[in-house]
Amino acid sequence: MVTISATPQTGYSFLQWNGGGLTNPFESTTTIKITEDANISAEFVIQYYSLSVGAEFGGDAKGSGSFRHGSVVSISATAAQGYQFEYWEIDGESYSIYPFTTIDIKSDLNISAVFSIKPLSSNLEVTSLIALDWYDSSWFGVFFQSDNGWVYHLEFGWIFPIINQSENLWFWSQKLGWIWAGEETYSEQYLWSEAFQNWISWENNDLDSIRYFDFLNDQWVDWER
């Protein structure tokens, strides 16, 4: 009995031996009984690997699939409204800071797109730091920026802003739900209410409370901060 072995090159895997007299043709190392001249060949196949592309929150990531060893695969990350792309991550390590990039396939991989909330402080037009974590916007007023995205606004109390453009934003308040504020209309003290599906006008003559005029129902509404 003669022992024979087959070693695949990188990116390939052993499939089987072709020929007669083999003890086990599906083992890369096996034996063969020699009783006459024999031609034995090893058969290899290229390996395919799984690429899993995803994101926990804040956006969408694409590019998952099964690919041949050595493939160069394009992956993409798109931030949801109010979020921004930070980087790609593989096994806890940063891979790339570009939302559209490529990755070499040499093994099974799990890659995640990491997004973060767009901070109001760095995305509103003409905003200046006036104290630790306190900012003054040229049109949206004074607010405190927390690390988790929540903002304490001097007029509206705690709000959760979603901003895509520096001159307008959506924010959520426990009292009135989602509110849209734009630079031009805000200066006239007008806000758009998603719940009312109408404009509301706000006034803050009393520092302890603000009230809003609901044009749809023709009444004043108290905003409790």
User: 203 versus 43: which is more confidently predicted?
Assistant: 43
Decide if pLDDT at 188 tops 90: no
pLDDT attached to residue 1: 85
> What average pLDDT score do residues 183-204 get?
86
pLDDT attached to residue 104: 96
Cα separation of 148 and 160, whole Å?
10
pTM: 0.69
Burial of 206 (0-12, 13-18, 19+ CB in 10 A): exposed
Is residue 29 within 8 A of residue 22, CB to CB? The reply is no
Domain boundaries, the chain: 2-46, 48-117, 120-223
Model confidence pLDDT, tens digit, residues 15-72 = 999 988 889 999 999 999 888 888 999 999 999 999 999 999 999 999 999 999 999 9
Is residue 189 within 8 A of residue 202, CB to CB? The reply is yes
